[in-house]
């Protein structure tokens, strides 16, 4: 069993983030539990790459001296699985907001769906969602969006090394993507819908890998906390 000094010297914790939790909440919860378990007044704890509340999966949490490695982990490629729903869009590009527009899908074939993935392979330009935590003029983009204020968003250069459609079930397209730091899968869903001459939004997302770390080796926050006692 790990001791207080082990966490202070530095640990890499692989956590399977639950649905609706923010990454910040996960870090705060684990920091508090570690402090309580070992009666530590202060300890550095941070995560290596945000996951949206509506996403689940691998969250790398570093403690103590290992927090110095966070930037290294953040820069590694990430793998995601999830589901696009074609035929409709939302302002947030996912289920955080309600459907705002609907589009025809009768022209979309399975072959077209598979072929369209090729448009997004390699280095691409991508606009982040307006409902995101990126800062502009000292404010988060989602603050502008929720206030109904228009804001100019600059595109980002990202890289997608693998993009495959795993199954198609009606309007639900299940996928797997391997991509670089800074890639928004919500934006990929939105752009994919446009490329189909329709619309799409993200309905489910799970991060399965960061570099060589895999979600199969992660534990839930509850299981981690149980092992502290």
Residues with catalytic roles: 52
Length of the chain: 229
* Residue 138 in tokens: 């000292």
What span, in angstroms and rounded, lies between the C-alpha atoms of 152 and 168? Answer: 35
Q: Please count the CA atoms within 13 angstroms of the CA of 221 that sit on its side-chain side.
A: 21
b/e 1-19 (16+ beta carbons within 10 angstroms → b): eeeeeebbeebebbbbbee
CA-CA-CA-CA dihedral for 215, 208, 78, 157, to nearest 10: -150
Instruction: Report d(CA 48, CA 70) in Å as an integer.
Output: 5
Task: Say if CB 126 and CB 155 are below 8 A apart.
Answer: yes
């Amino acid at each position: 069993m790990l001791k207080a000094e082990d966490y202070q010297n530095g640990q890499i914790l692989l956590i399977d983030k639950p649905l609706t939790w923010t990454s910040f909440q996960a870090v705060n919860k684990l920091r508090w539990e570690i402090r309580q378990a070992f009666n530590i007044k202060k300890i550095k704890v941070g995560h290596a790459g945000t996951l949206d509340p509506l996403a689940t999966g691998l969250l790398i949490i570093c403690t103590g001296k290992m927090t110095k490695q966070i930037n290294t982990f953040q820069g590694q490629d990430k793998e995601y699985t999830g589901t696009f729903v074609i035929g409709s869009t939302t302002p947030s590009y996912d289920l955080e907001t309600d459907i705002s527009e609907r589009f025809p899908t009768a022209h979309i074939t399975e072959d077209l769906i598979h072929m369209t993935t090729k448009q997004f392979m390699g280095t691409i330009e991508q606009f982040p969602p307006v409902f995101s935590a990126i800062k502009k003029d000292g404010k988060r983009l989602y603050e502008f969006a929720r206030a109904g204020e228009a804001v100019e968003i600059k595109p980002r250069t990202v890289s997608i090394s693998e993009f495959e459609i795993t199954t198609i079930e009606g309007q639900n397209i299940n996928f797997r993507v391997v991509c670089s730091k800074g890639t928004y899968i919500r934006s990929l869903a939105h752009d994919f819908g446009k490329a189909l001459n329709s619309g799409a939004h993200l309905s489910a997302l799970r991060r399965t890998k960061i570099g060589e770390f895999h979600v199969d080796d992660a534990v839930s926050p509850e299981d981690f906390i149980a092992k502290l006692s």
